[in-house]
Structure 1
C-alpha cells in the first residue's frame, strides 16, 4: 500500500510552493486562469480539472491567458483558485492525499486558522484528501527550517535565544518573535505589499518613460536589469536599486517598531522571496546584527513546514541546510 506523503504547503499571493518527504520541491507563480476559449492552443500544456472546470496554472496561465496574481485577501483560501493551486502541486507530486503543515500570514492566523483547516478537509468531497497536522504563522516555517530539529528541539546555537523573523512575501511582510523556541504572540507585525512594492515602483518608472509594460513582467525585467523599447535598451540599474530600497526600508521600519534595533536580538532571520531579491542590501542594512538569510529563502517556509510535519507526525528527517 502506498504511504501518504508528508508535504509542506505554502500557497502564497506571489508564489505557491510544495516540499515533500519524497524529495519534491516545487515553486510556481500563483497565476491561475479558467479555460473559457476552446480555440486556445493548449498542446503540451498541463490543465488542471477542478469541479469540472479546466484551469491553466503558473506560467501557462500568464502566457496564454494573461492571468493576474491573486489580490491580498484574508479569506483567499475559500476561493477556487487556492484549491486549484494546491491540486496542481499534488498532481505534480503524483498524489491526491497528503499529511500537511501549512501557514497563514501572522495577521490572519488567529482568526482564520480553524476555518482554513475546515476548508482544506472539506476538499475530500472533490478528491483531495488532506490530513492537516498544523497551521502555523508563516514566518515560523523558516524558524523550523533553520533553528529546529524534527524532535522539536532547538538546533545548536539557538538554545535559549530570542529570534526575530521577517518574512518578505509577494503580498505581505510578516514578522514575529520566538523566545526560547516559543512564539511571542505580543510581538508581531504584518504589512501589506511585500515584494510587490518593488515591482509597482519599477512598473511605474517604465511606464513613465512611455514604454508599455505589464506589472506581471517585472520579475523578469528586474532580473534582466534593462528593458527594450524598439531598438533602444533602457538601463534600469538606478530604479531597480531604488525599488529594492523600498523593500529594505519596510523591513527596517518593522524591525525598529518591534525590537528598536536588530542587535537586541540573538538572531534576525529574514526570509521569503524578498530576501532573495534584496539579499545584499539586507546584509548591508543589518550588518551589525546576527542576520540569517536561508539558502533559497523563497522555499524556506515550505521546507520548514515539512520539518514541522515530520515532527508532528513523529518521523525522522534529513539534515537542514542554510546560510548566514
Structure 2
C-alpha cells in the first residue's frame, strides 16, 4: 500500500504512528518502545488454540532479530525489556526496529514523505543522519519499504500543530505559546510565536517520566527490601491510576510519587532558566505521556498563564507530524511545473 505521508514518533516510552486512511481520516496507533531480542521458539503458536498468539513482529537489524509490537512483554527476567535510554537512541538498532515495526503494522510499503521527530537538544546532531539512514529502499525483515523523502522536526512542534486544530486565531503570528513535551526519557519545550520557533527560548534535557519511575522503584525497593525492576508496570499503574502489584500485594503509588516531586521541580527550574518569564504568552500546552506528572509543578512555576493538557497527549506529536507532512507535500506539489 502506498501513502503520501506517514508520521512516526519513536519515543523512548511508546512508538506512535499516523497516516491518512482511505476515508481521509487520521489513523493512528501506538505500542511500547520495547525491542527485546526475538525468542528462538514461539511456544504460544503451538498451544492447540489454548494459548493466544501475541501481536508482535520480528525485525532483523544487522543480522539480529528484535521483537516489537503491541503485545511485546512489559516485563522480563532481570529487567531486560529491550528499552534503550540514551541521547543517541535515534541511531540505535532498537530505534530502527521500532520504526520498521510501525510501518509493518500499518501495511504501508511505499511512503512519499516520512515525518519523524527528535528531542530539541538532539536535532542538530541527529536529523541528517536519520534522513540518510531511512531514505530510499530498505528491508528490515518484514518486506521491502520505499521512502522517497524523510523530514525531521522538533518533537514539541507536533503538539503545537495538534493544539492549534480549529483555533487558528489563537495561534497567529503575534500569539506566543510554550509547548512542553514530557516524554519517557526527555522533557522538551518550544517557545513559539505562531508557528515560528524561538531557538533561544526552546530546549530540552534528559529527565522525563522515567526518572520518576526509577525514583519510585528505588523507594519501593527500600520499603520492600527487594529490588524493583518493573519500571514498565510502574508506568502503567500511574497512567491508569491503579495499584502496583508486587509480591502479591497492591501498593498505592501516590505517596511515592509525592516523594519524587524534587526531581520534577529540578527539570521545571531548568526550563524556567531557559524560557524566562511568560508575561506575553497566551498559553502553556502540555503533551507527552508524562504530562500529568509534571503539570502541578509547571502550574506552580507559571500560576498566571493559562495551561492545558492536550487531548490524547501521547498521540499529540505524531498527529501534528502528519499535518506538517501534509502541508509540506502540498506546497511541493504546487511548485511542481505542470505536465504537458
- Give me the TM-score of the superposition, normalised by structure 1: 0.84
Of 82-91 and 280-289, the range deviating more from structure 2: 280-289
Residue number in structure 1 paired with 2:193? 179
Structure 2: which 5+ runs fail to align?
46-51, 332-340
Tell me which of 14, 30, 47 is aligned to 2:57.
47
Q: Aligned residues, how many?
A: 308
1:276 touches 1:296 (CA, 8 Å); kept in 2?
no
Shift of residue 166, structure 1, vs aligned partner: 1.4
Write the distance in 1 (CA, Å) between the matches of 2:299 and 2:190. Answer: 19
Establish whether residue 309 from structure 1 lines up as the match of residue 320 from structure 2.
no
2:59 touches 2:67 (CA, 8 Å); kept in 1?
no
Is the partner of 2:168 in helix, strand or coil? coil
Establish whether residue 90 from structure 1 lines up as the match of residue 103 from structure 2.
yes
1:10 touches 1:301 (CA, 8 Å); kept in 2?
yes
1:168 touches 1:273 (CA, 8 Å); kept in 2?
yes
Q: Map residues 8-27 of structure 1 onto 2, 5 A cutoff.
A: 8-22=7-21, 23-27=26-30
- Give me the TM-score of the superposition, normalised by structure 2: 0.80
Go from structure 1 to structure 2 and tell me whether the alpha carbon gap of 1:48 and 1:181 turns closer, same or farther (over 3 Å shift). same
Is the partner of 1:38 in helix, strand or coil? coil
Is the partner of 2:153 in helix, strand or coil? strand
Go from structure 1 to structure 2 and tell me whether the alpha carbon gap of 1:118 and 1:229 turns closer, same or farther (over 3 Å shift). closer
Write the distance in 1 (CA, Å) between the matches of 2:65 and 2:150. Answer: 30
Residue number in structure 2 paired with 1:208? 222
- The CA RMSD over aligned residues, in Å, is 2.7
1:194 touches 1:247 (CA, 8 Å); kept in 2?
no
Shift of residue 289, structure 1, vs aligned partner: 0.5
Shift of residue 212, structure 1, vs aligned partner: 4.5
Is the partner of 1:8 in helix, strand or coil? strand
Write the distance in 2 (CA, Å) between the matches of 1:54 and 1:86. Answer: 14
Tell me which of 199, 219, 237 is aligned to 2:235.
219
Write the distance in 1 (CA, Å) between the matches of 2:248 and 2:10. Answer: 39
Is the partner of 1:24 in helix, strand or coil? strand
Shift of residue 206, structure 1, vs aligned partner: 0.7
1:162 touches 1:178 (CA, 8 Å); kept in 2?
yes
Q: Deviations over 1:135-191 (max 9, x none)?
A: 111111111112267xxxx81111111222211111111112212421112222221
Of 230-239 and 296-305, the range deviating more from structure 2: 230-239
Establish whether residue 37 from structure 1 lines up as the match of residue 54 from structure 2.
no
1:276 touches 1:298 (CA, 8 Å); kept in 2?
no
Go from structure 1 to structure 2 and tell me whether the alpha carbon gap of 1:278 and 1:128 turns closer, same or farther (over 3 Å shift). same
Is the partner of 2:285 in helix, strand or coil? strand
Q: Map residues 129-208 of structure 1 onto 2, 5 A cutoff.
A: 129-147=146-164, 155-159=168-172, 160-208=174-222
Of 213-222 and 9-18, the range deviating more from structure 2: 213-222
Structure 1: which 5+ runs fail to align?
316-324
